[in-house]
Chain A
Amino acid sequence: MRDFTEIWSYLAGDPLLWLCATLVAYVLGDAASRTVGRAPWMNPVLVAAILLGLLLWLTGTSYATYFEGAQFVHFLLGPATVALAVPLWTQRHALRPALLPIIAALLAGSATAVLSALAIGHAMGLSPQLLATLAPKSTTAPVALGISEGLGGSPTLTAVLVILTGIIGAIVVTPLMNALRIRDWRARGFATGVAAHGIGTARALQVHPQAGAFAGIGMALNAMLTALLAPWALGLF
């Protein structure tokens, strides 16, 4: 029999190991979320990321090595975004009557996300560069990186803030909406897509199909609006 370290050094450099680890961590996170009846605080992305983070740390594996395996999963984000046309099509008859609420909620939600983040960051004494990094955090990752770079922020740190925002949104949305007694699934979903992009949309899809469809629209529209809004908002601080 071969030495374990020999097998490990072979496997650790192979994409299969980290692809497999990503799926196992997600299956565990999803099972944990299911066990607690999809309670919002047991977010499957958060659970999986913590498990994998610990595993990388324990085995002394770099993120670059991990990503060689995980990139196959990461790649599917693009096709999945395109596939958001499916819930949109399923809900197509609900769209036209909701046109005015959609426009109003987009403007209000998007402006609140950018301006309140900048106002709090400014009050807490964050550097101008960090404010530029923070401004697009409610936007879907590929757009947020572009906006951050254009404003003189740090795109890699923006990616982190985008993910954190998504997880925060996915965790707080259900208790928050229940507390506010907002029962309209369109409103709940749309606001989630605007404030917490794809991770919020993933949560909305899990909770209610109509919320999921409206979250997808919210995410797409907010990507376009934040690109226009963020440079102007940053100029205020």
Chain B
Amino acid sequence: MIHALTLILICQLAGETVTRLAGWPIPGPVLGMAMLFALMLANARLAGLIVPTGAGILRHLSLLFVPAAVGVVGHLPTLAANGLGVALALIVSTVLALAVGAGTFVLVARLTGGRSDA
């Protein structure tokens, strides 16, 4: 487990370093994810080592958003001033984006003959 955790942190560090040096507009951990994925594809033994630890971290992914979500509480007065407009924009655009995204996926999958495992 400690080896897997070390490798995950190294990928994050490498991702942060590269995105900062190159000035890319993507976050370091996202590049770190791509790096780890490439390493796992290249080496099945390494992948087997990472899987249980990675799955363990992700089992309670929701927990990791709690501290940031508590921060929302302090911003409620600012939000209340523009409450209706902001609430409407957030809710409607999220529903639309979900529907359009999933609909497009299904449509293109059908057109290109991609099989669904559902």
Q: List the A side residues contacting B70 at CB < 8 Å.
A: 22, 49, 52-53, 56, 63, 66, 70
Q: List the A side residues contacting B64 at CB < 8 Å.
A: 73-74, 76-77, 80, 198
- A98 and B114 contacting across the interface, CB-CB below 8 Å: yes
Contact-size category for B = 35 or more
How many residues from A make CB contacts under 8 Å with B?
116
List CB contacts (< 8 Å) of A167-195 with chain B. 167-169, 172-173, 176-177, 180, 182-188, 190-192, 194-195
CB nearest to B71 among chain A residues: A63
Q: List the B side residues contacting A198 at CB < 8 Å.
A: 61, 64-65
- A138 and B94 contacting across the interface, CB-CB below 8 Å: yes
CB nearest to B40 among chain A residues: A89
Chain B contact residues: over half helix, strand or loop, or mixed?
helix
A13 to B54, CA, bound (A): 33
Contact of A52 among B12, B57, B66 (CB under 8 A): B66
User: Closest Cβ of chain A: how far from B36's Cβ, in Å?
Assistant: 4
User: Closest Cβ of chain B: how far from A216's Cβ, in Å?
Assistant: 7
- A84 and B58 contacting across the interface, CB-CB below 8 Å: yes
A81 to B58, CA, bound (A): 9
Closest 7 CB pairs of A and B: A109-B101, A124-B85, A191-B101, A86-B54, A70-B67, A53-B73, A81-B29
